[in-house]
Chains A and B, each alone.
Chain A
Amino acid sequence: MEDTTRFKRFLKEKNLPTPWCPGCGNGIILKSTCDAFDELNLDTDKTVVVSGIGCSGRSAGFFNLDSVHTAHGRAIPMAEGIKIANENLHVVVLSGDGDLLGIGGNHLLHASRRNTPITIICFSNEIYGMTGGQVSPTSKQGAKTITTPDGCKDTPINVQALIKAHNCFYARTTTFHLKHLKKCIVEALRHPGLAFVDVICQCIVNNGRRIGFKDGYDMLMHYKNTYKINENADLLKEGEIGITKVGVVK
């Protein structure tokens, strides 16, 4: 029987279970990240994980390697500092859409401009989950949240355009497309410059349930029906997931 649990060597099992709500997608990303680490056989002494603040920001604490749980929005500069201090390390950021694109957005802008060789895994649940479900920079127009009861009026941040404008690696995937999710993380880790993996994931308690989803499974089925894989795209359209070609500025 094939061992499907080798990824666990990257986890501090004594810290489990995670504090995340039943059905939250964060655990799927945590697992897939460890699975990708395992596929590349990363050296635990040469891999560092950094998280900011938010539900997703709790990720760093579950890895069986050196990790930093830093201030809100500051995961990227922390990761850049670690990389500058020791360029032989794999430095991986796992954090939320609010953390990386809201309060920390300016850091992403400049880290991508510098093409700092770090891997960023963004938990894009389109909400500030931890603080109770406020609108986030990735919330879609019309999204009902506790701070936008009449629907969000703003345009969601076009993170793909931002990353690609600086010739960095951009991939989008979801927590339903498990093989694809792992592949995106593996390819991001292999990329020699800055790599950003946008993972569409479910916050059932402070987002999904309020907009009519029954449970985590219901949200996963929505991703299954909404997102189609488009490999080899220059630029992903809405409703597409994939690994975009690096070096195509649009």
Chain B
Amino acid sequence: MPQRKGEVAINHRYCKRCNICPQFCPTNNLEIVKGKLVAYDRCIACFNCERYCPDMAIEVVKIYNVETPATG
């Protein structure tokens, strides 16, 4: 089964660390750590962060599929 994956780019000059996007992210891919927004590798390119960021500070820059091993 191909699984949709994504990658986000954070513009730290624009990001105000408002904590809106981490709470909209369905995969807990975003977190504010020591006053800085960080992204992990769990993005599924749902665009929630990009759409709700009031500061245009985060964008989905890559969408791709990965093959997950068949189970069972």
Contact = CB atoms under 8 A, between A and B. Distances in A.
Nearest to B14: A17
Contacts of A18: 55
A28 interface: yes
Most A CB contacts (10 A, CB to CB) among B18, B59, B63 go to B18
B54 interface: yes
B39 to A, nearest CB: 17
Contacts of A220: 20, 52
Given A17-B14, A27-B56, A217 B50 contact: no
A13 to B, nearest CB: 9
Contacts of B52: 28, 178, 220
B14 A20 contact: no
Nearest to B23: A217
Nearest to A11: B56
A22 B50 CA distance: 15
A8 B56 contact: yes
A98 interface: no
A217 B20 contact: yes
Q: Is the interface of B mostly helix, strand, loop or mixed?
A: loop
Interface residues of B, number: 22
Nearest to B19: A215
A25 interface: yes
Contacts of A4: 47, 50, 59-60
A23 B62 CA distance: 26
Contacts of B19: 22-23, 215-217
Nearest to A179: B51
B54 A23 contact: yes
A156 to B, nearest CB: 25
Interface string A165-189: 0000000000000100000000000
Interface in B1-47: 13-14, 16-20, 23-24, 47
Nearest to A13: B56
A8 B23 CA distance: 25
A134 B15 CA distance: 28
Contact of A28 (B54, B57, B59, B62): B54
A27 B55 contact: yes
Interface of A: 1, 4-5, 8, 11, 16-18, 20-28, 31, 178, 215-217, 220
22 contacts: A1-B62, A4-B47, A4-B50, A5-B59, A8-B56, A16-B14, A16-B56, A17-B14, A17-B57, A18-B55, A22-B17, A23-B19, A23-B20, A26-B54, A28-B52, A31-B54, A178-B52, A215-B20, A217-B18, A217-B23, A220-B20, A220-B52
Given A4-B47, A215-B20, 6 more contacts: A1-B62, A1-B63, A17-B16, A27-B56, A178-B51, A216-B19
The 6 residue pairs across chains A and B that have the minimum distance between CB atoms: A27-B54, A23-B18, A22-B18, A22-B16, A217-B23, A17-B14
